[in-house]
Chain A
Amino acid sequence: MLIEDDPSVREGLRLSLGRHGHDVDLASTGEEGLERLLAAPADIVVLDLMLPGLDGFEVCRRIRAGGPTPIVMLTARGDDLDVVSGLEAGADDYVIKPVRPRVLEARIRAVLRRGGPAGAVSTGQEVHGDLTIDRGSLTVTRAGVPITLPPMELRLLLELSAAYRQVFSRQQLLESVWELDFLGDSRLVDACVQRLRTKIEDIPSKPRYIQTVRGFGYRFGPL
């Protein structure tokens, strides 16, 4: 699903993504996009932040409230506040407009690649406190209640919990989870951690599972 108000951009990206084998559903406004998503859920939403009517941030929040559909937002370069707000609203990744379809396609693929980090072969269930992580079925339950996590949050959790108490730097996480090179934006990690904490922590401001190691990065535990 591509939500973009400009018809030429919409059409250009649809053609280009279509050639890469994606089946692109189009919406020109946030309202239309949300309506369509209700009728036919998409694998991923590419969302322009500058939309008439319902703006991109609000659309992002509503999609996120409805489920774990991955979201990649289109934003203007340097509009750092937009990036921060978009990530806080729940976007998994962002690309800067104008974007080469190849770049967008690579981001879409990275976000869509569900599952644990490459090379993680463990399939059993792990129990950490109230949290149960099943690497086989990619499900997480907290005190017996299943939690639905968007792909990046799930992958971040799997990555961190795979190495109990090991500290990961933001750059490491960008490379392993987002598959971004050195120039990745460390705010992606910070925002994703914040969102994940609100779902798995009892008190998000006093995290037990995903802890900040000041000056270095994040680690899972110790509980």
Chain B
Amino acid sequence: MNPPLRTPANPRTAADPPRRPWIPIRLRGLRARLVIVCVLLAGLSALTAAGLIYRQARDLMLTRTEGSVVNEFRLRVATLTENMQHPPDRAALQQLANGVAPSFLQATGAAAYRDSGLITSGDLTGPITPALRRAVVARGRLYHQRVIKNGLPYLVVGTPVMLGKRTTPSGVEVYLVAPLAKEQADEDALVAAARNGVIPVVALAVLLALVAARGVLRPVRDLDRAARRLGAGELDTRLKVSGGDELARLVKTFNATAAALETNVSELRDMEVKARRFVADVSHELRTPLASILAMADMFEEEAGRLESDLAKAARLMNLEVGRLVRLVEDLMEISRFDAGAATLILDDVDVADAVRASLRTRGWTGRVGLDLPPDVRIGLDPRRFDVIMANLVGNALRHGAAPVTVRLRADGGAGGVVIEVQDAGGGVDPRVLPHLFDRFSKADAARTRSDGSGLGLAIARENAHLHGGTIRVTNPPEGGALFTLTLPRRAEPPDHPGEPGTDPPWITEPGG
């Protein structure tokens, strides 16, 4: 029954990668990022291309239109003003205005002489801006301008009329306002074409990105799953290597790591099994001769009264030492069982005060220990193991501390467990030894290497407390002496006992962790 290998769960790394708060979680996946990048790239290039083409086409179109309108205007102005009287009267200006506006352009012509105001052929004079008129008058040459009026584009052309060899300003200005509605429609068509081109390109980019992501992500997902299985203890997990790219190399590395791990773990397990078998063998080998020695030593001791005094003394001493040897061997075996994870709990619902008293009574310590044990504190515990803990703590206090030794019990409010304190009135534990007090063969007093204990007592006590899910701590309180604090949780479910009457009670509870 090898316990599955467990890696201690690190809540920080396991649950919570460091967070970049401004990126929503779903956009942090590789797939999402790939799609976003692809869409941005495709959209940007499509937009750039479409934009450039649009601008070029539009400029070309407008320039051509403007050119032809301006030429037509220039021609007409020249023709109409050739024989114009000077200064012109109102009718002549009206004729000029009508003449420059060709009907096919749906344009409006306008003419003015000095401050006469604009004489127009239609009502579209809004686009003729004062700035244009000022420029035409001041600079004395032809200007044209694109004007947006009420959301519609217009081409406005204006020129002064020259006299003589076209050098003297006549004071006559001629204007033409041509709506660019057709060009606007053409431009709209261009924009629509660009848009209609970009949208499918972006959609295609999304599709391609998803396909690419799938190709990259499948091996990543496989790796993730395999690593998970490996972590769960399936050490024979391997992945198929396909291709020769970086991912394939990663898969190869993963396989090699898994193989190394499997080898190491199986070696460890072999060693563990061997160690366990060794412990079992040693225990049997030691126990058998000890059993016969103990039987006979016991017999001698019983008869010691009939032996002569030296022999009687020897018999008693021998019996004592055999007893210690037995205890040492038992402690060694006990601690080996903890090491092998083979220690089991046999829980019972127990009155803790009774348990403490019984433990002291069995060892004849009842009169030597002060007790503060409130009744009716019941928890689920293993009576034998609890007895071991109490025997070690109290025994330790009696041997190494000074009277009075006190045992106090109180219910541990929050968790429903109990706290038992064993305090003596001695000099406390040497602060240098304090951290190692529960180590094996740790002797608080170097001079006392031949104490009654095996040197394993406190280590075993602590293992037993851990097995219950509890703890033992030791401190030197300010009032003196040493204070051992045993904390035991309340077992949620005492192993009592069959849900259905008559089924087998769950005698053995595997240790939780």
Contacts and interface: CB of A to CB of B under 8 A. Distances in A.
Contacts of B333: 76-78
Interface string A208-221: 00011011100000
Given A78-B337, A181-B358, A186 B295 contact: no
A207 B334 contact: no
Contacts of B499: 214
Contacts of B334: 77-78
Contacts of B383: 182-183, 186
A50 B289 CA distance: 14
Contacts of A170: 348
B373 interface: no
Contacts of B497: 212, 214-215
Contacts of B287: 76, 97-98
Interface stretch (B91-99, B200-208, B251-259, B500-508): B500-508
Given A77-B333, A181-B362, A182-B383, A99 B496 contact: no
Interface in A177-212: 181-183, 185-187, 190, 194, 197, 201, 204-207, 211-212
A15 interface: yes
Contacts of B354: 182
Interface in A142-191: 170, 181-183, 185-187, 190
Interface in A44-81: 50, 76-78, 80-81
Q: Which of A100, A181, A216 has the most B CB atoms < 10 Å from its CB?
A: A100
A211 B294 CA distance: 42
B288 A19 contact: no
B298 A101 contact: yes
Contacts of B507: 80, 84, 187, 190
A12 interface: yes
A101 B337 contact: no
B418 to A, nearest CB: 17
A190 B298 CA distance: 32
B289 A16 contact: no
A11 interface: yes
Given A19-B299, A78-B337, A98 B494 contact: no
B498 A212 contact: yes
Given A102-B302, A204-B502, A215 B494 contact: yes
Contacts of B349: 215
A13 interface: yes
Interface residues on B, range: 35 or more
A137 interface: no
A205 B500 contact: yes
B384 A183 contact: yes
B326 interface: yes
A183 B385 CA distance: 10
A188 to B, nearest CB: 11
A99 B291 contact: yes
Nearest to B322: A98
Contacts of A6: 288, 291-292
Interface in B17-61: none
Contacts of B346: 80, 185-187
B344 interface: yes
Interface string B476-502: 000000000000000000101111111
Interface string B180-221: 000000000000000000000000000000000000000000
Contacts of A206: 501-502
A120 interface: no
A91 to B, nearest CB: 15
Ranked nearest first, the 9 interchain pairs of A and B with the lowest CB-CB distance are A12-B295, A182-B358, A8-B292, A98-B291, A12-B292, A212-B501, A9-B292, A98-B290, A9-B291
Interface of B: 283-284, 287-296, 298-299, 302, 326, 330, 333-334, 337, 343-344, 346, 348-349, 354-355, 358-359, 361-362, 383-384, 387, 494, 496-505, 507-508
Given A206-B501, A214-B499, A215-B494, 11 more contacts: A12-B293, A13-B292, A13-B295, A97-B287, A98-B287, A182-B355, A183-B383, A201-B502, A207-B502, A212-B497, A215-B496
